[in-house]
Structure 1
């Protein structure tokens, strides 16, 4: 049984005709689409708005920064700032997750001081645990931050970052001070010396390429043998006066 709302064999039922989408589209005035098409073609013709923007994009590949169109610079700066914001946000999430993961490790784990690494690491753990008792921070958080600071200083210093190299130097000095303070009195010097050697070996990577020698630029002196002569010529005597006032002609 067919519905009363649908036509049968293309014929309307009950004398009513329901227009579809194509019928409505055909009833739209064609002048609107003609104007849009004409405006689109004109904008892509030589001297048009879109044609000029395309030419500016094409020329930006070979032009310098000062020759690039202002709107391209603005779009590039906005895209760069958006990328930096996303990278900083992602780096913050990664750093937060790293600190949270490192904080799960108890500061007293592997604290027996056995082995070379235990001899260096145990005094640092003990020193941080003793200091955390007087602070509002967990010992594990202090130890995790100490590990993260050393890792960032090592990696950043390897790539030549000046700030990371300064942080690496301060991190090493602070580590030696903590080991000297918390190591047993009988083996304090040995533990500190061993830590200094380990720090020196690691500094070969963190401070690679760094030199304390002054940079001397030997440039030969530039000498231009130019002689400048300034001569003052006497003013020409007026016409008809062939002799100077002080010189009289010889009279017979």
Structure 2
């Protein structure tokens, strides 16, 4: 049962204030909420104007759409593009890792091997292990895998697309490989190791840099001559009338 409200003992005499909780009936709160909802969805309200703007953008010209609609659409498109690129990048990275592992250069070769591969790979292993141990958070194995993947990707992309960026990446990778082989080889064998590495890089460059030409071709520029056009003045002189002729037949007789 509802208990009657008690007067406030601290209120001044004759100005007793009622209990604020006494008038908050459930029906009153529900009616107020319904009234607010009707105001929000009524014609001309904020939600109604936004709805009309969205319908106008869908049915009309995109250039005439409201700025907030364009911002929301661009933000959603950018988010979807980032998510798509992240998923595609993860798939490509996994595939590239599998490809690199599939063509892994062995560190130990059979006894009958000539040792040409180890002449290139061993100095790179030693250089990366010495420069990463205790200095960088990456391990020497991870750095070696990245080195292989970068060279393989640059060579393949340069071979397929013939792009200048891929060719520059392959050239930079080749220079870095030569520097690591030089630094990771004993001084007595450096010339031979660098020579073998350069020969291997030159052989791969036949395919990676195909179509690249360094021939110097003359360039001829046909510059227009500075000719001053003389103005031409055309003067039209009207025909002068001739002497008057007498056409009276009586005078001719």
**What TM-score, normalized to structure 1?**
0.51
How many Å apart are 1:134 and its aligned residue? Answer: 3.0
**Partner residue in 1 for 2:173:** 171
Specify whether residues 183 and 114 from structure 1 end up closer, same or farther in structure 2 by C-alpha distance, changes over 3 A only: farther
Count of paired positions: 169
1:92 paired with 2:90, answer yes
How many angstroms apart in 2 are the aligned matches of 1:222 and 1:120? Answer: 58
Within 5 Å, which residues of 2 pair with 1:1-252? 82=80, 85-96=83-94, 98-99=96-97, 109-110=107-108, 115-135=115-135, 136-158=137-159, 159-214=161-216, 216-222=218-224, 227-229=229-231
Please list the CA deviations of residues 5-29 of structure 1 after superposition, one character each: whole Å capped at 9, or x if unmatched.
Answer: xxxxxxxxxxxxxxxxxxxxxxxxx
How many angstroms apart in 2 are the aligned matches of 1:176 and 1:156? Answer: 21
How many angstroms apart in 2 are the aligned matches of 1:209 and 1:88? Answer: 34
How many Å apart are 1:141 and its aligned residue? Answer: 0.2
How many Å apart are 1:207 and its aligned residue? Answer: 1.9
Please list the CA deviations of residues 143-162 of structure 1 after superposition, one character each: whole Å capped at 9, or x if unmatched.
Answer: 00000110111122221222
Report if the CA contact (8 A) 2:107-2:121 is conserved. no
Report if the CA contact (8 A) 2:155-2:208 is conserved. yes
Q: Name the structure with the higher helix share.
A: 2
Report if the CA contact (8 A) 1:125-1:143 is conserved. yes
How many Å apart are 1:109 and its aligned residue? Answer: 3.3
How many Å apart are 1:199 and its aligned residue? Answer: 0.8
How many Å apart are 1:178 and its aligned residue? Answer: 0.8
**Partner residue in 2 for 1:29:** none
**Partner residue in 2 for 1:57:** none
**Partner residue in 1 for 2:48:** none
How many angstroms apart in 2 are the aligned matches of 1:203 and 1:105? Answer: 18
How many angstroms apart in 2 are the aligned matches of 1:111 and 1:142? Answer: 21
Report if the CA contact (8 A) 2:156-2:208 is conserved. yes
How many Å apart are 1:217 and its aligned residue? Answer: 3.5
**Partner residue in 2 for 1:38:** none
Report if the CA contact (8 A) 1:107-1:129 is conserved. no
Please list the CA deviations of residues 55-106 of structure 1 after superposition, one character each: whole Å capped at 9, or x if unmatched.
Answer: xxxxxxxxxxxxx9869xx99xx88995675245222343156448858999
Structure 1 unaligned blocks of 5 or more: 1-52, 54-67, 234-252
Over 3 Å off, 4+ runs: 68-71, 78-85, 96-109, 111-114, 212-217, 219-227, 230-233
Specify whether residues 194 and 104 from structure 1 end up closer, same or farther in structure 2 by C-alpha distance, changes over 3 A only: closer
Specify whether residues 211 and 80 from structure 1 end up closer, same or farther in structure 2 by C-alpha distance, changes over 3 A only: farther
